[in-house]
């Protein structure tokens, strides 16, 4: 195994990064994939949403293992990785990670510390999903430097033009300077309220503006209080409301993500012929 690493990134807060990371990760696990979900946000909201209500009490987190990479200290096998009852592994984060931005400033190869860490666990997984923080700081750059691809959640209520442009510029910079193979899997519309035309307008605008260059996922994630409830439950939408529209849409998204990888593999083998 050599995991595909997907960063879920958008510097705007509250657009559904964490919700997508948790539910896509568990969706992939339900399709039989070995999945690690990494919380790279010092708020620890992914860790909370996967059942660790007090992340600050978790002794070993992403900050611990990145710190070990920086100081060249050997890591134990799967150090700090927790398992979730729905079949995914989680590397949690907590407030300690907020000190990492500063530690990285003086670290050698500061943009690739997360990548160096992930290289040590990639063989154990087929997918590694990175939940990023709402900023384009050094931790997000580390996630982009470590990723094979990016999924960009966009909240349907807001015109994301400016934030999206900034993110695309950062992705281009990372591509040019650190990680030339980084691709964009797609833009994902989240919290879509089908009772309004606004989501449709934004979706059309995104497709018109970026459609030629960037895929917009065919699956939209609907707005639903059932989705908002899951972070307090510590479980996925598949366990919380398996027959609901949000579970259905995350199942569809999972299929789209698997299809991207299948097409990429086919393309690779066609080129190799």
Ligand X SMILES: Nc1ncnc2c1ncn2[C@@H]1O[C@H](COP(=O)(O)OP(=O)(O)OP(=O)(O)O)[C@@H](O)[C@H]1O
CA 147 to chain CA mean position, Å? 9
Angle at 164 between CA 268 and CA 106, to 5 degrees: 80
Tell me how far, at minimum, the Cβ of 63 lies from ligand X, in Å.
17
Residue found by looking up tokens 């991207």 in the block: 260
- Does the footprint of ligand X cover residue 166 (CB under 6 A)? no
Q: Where are the alpha helices (DSSP H) in 147-197?
A: 161-177
Binding part of the chain for ligand X, among 51-59, 73-81, 92-100, 219-227 by CB under 6 A, reads: 219-227
Chain residues 56-115 in contact with ligand X, contact rule CB under 6 A: none
Which of 221, 253, 257, 260 binds ligand X (CB under 6 A)? It is 221
Residue 64 or 190: the one with the smaller Cβ distance to ligand X is 190
Report the candidate in 55, 79, 60 with the shortest Cα–Cα distance to residue 234.
Answer: 55
Which of 4, 223, 235, 240 binds ligand X (CB under 6 A)? It is 223
Tell me how far, at minimum, the Cβ of 14 lies from ligand X, in Å.
4
Tell me how far, at minimum, the Cβ of 237 lies from ligand X, in Å.
8
Angle at 114 between CA 102 and CA 259, to 5 degrees: 140
37 backbone dihedrals φ, ψ, rounded to 5°: -110, 130
- Does the footprint of ligand X cover residue 240 (CB under 6 A)? no
CB atoms < 10 A from the CB of 52, how many?
22
Binding part of the chain for ligand X, among 9-17, 120-128, 137-145, 160-168 by CB under 6 A, reads: 9-17
| Strand positions, DSSP E, the chain | 4-8, 35-40, 82-83, 89-91, 127-132, 149-155, 183-190
Tell me how far, at minimum, the Cβ of 261 lies from ligand X, in Å.
23
- Does the footprint of ligand X cover residue 14 (CB under 6 A)? yes
Residue 17 or 68: the one with the smaller Cβ distance to ligand X is 17
Residues that bind ligand X (CB under 6 A): 13-19, 41, 45, 134, 190-191, 221, 223-224, 227-228, 231, 246
């Amino acid at each position: 195994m050599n995991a595909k690493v997907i960063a879920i990134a958008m510097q705007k807060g509250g657009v559904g990064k964490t919700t997508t990371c948790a539910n896509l990760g568990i969706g992939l696990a339900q399709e039989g994939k070995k999945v690690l979900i990494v919380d790279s946000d010092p708020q620890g909201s992914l860790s909370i949403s996967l059942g660790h209500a007090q992340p600050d009490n978790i002794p070993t987190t992403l900050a611990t293992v990145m710190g070990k990479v920086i100081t060249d200290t050997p890591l134990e096998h799967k150090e700090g990785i927790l398992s979730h009852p729905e079949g995914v592994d989680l590397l949690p984060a907590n407030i300690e990670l907020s000190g990492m931005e500063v530690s990285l400033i003086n670290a050698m190869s500061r943009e690739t510390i997360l990548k160096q860490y992930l290289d040590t666990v990639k063989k154990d997984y087929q997918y590694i999903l990175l939940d990023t923080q709402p900023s384009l700081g050094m931790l997000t750059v580390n996630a982009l430097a470590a990723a094979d691809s990016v999924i960009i959640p966009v909240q349907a209520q807001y015109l994301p033009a400016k934030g999206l442009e900034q993110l695309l510029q950062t992705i281009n910079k990372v591509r040019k300077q650190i990680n030339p193979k980084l691709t964009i899997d797609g833009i994902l519309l989240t919290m879509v309220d089908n009772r309004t035309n606004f989501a449709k307008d934004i979706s059309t605008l995104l497709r018109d503006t970026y459609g030629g260059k960037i895929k917009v996922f065919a699956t939209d994630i609907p707005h639903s209080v059932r989705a908002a409830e899951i972070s307090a439950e510590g479980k996925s939408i598949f366990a919380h409301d398996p027959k609901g529209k949000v579970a259905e849409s995350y199942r569809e998204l999972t299929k789209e993500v698997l299809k991207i990888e299948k097409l990429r593999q086919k393309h690779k083998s066609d080129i190799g012929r």
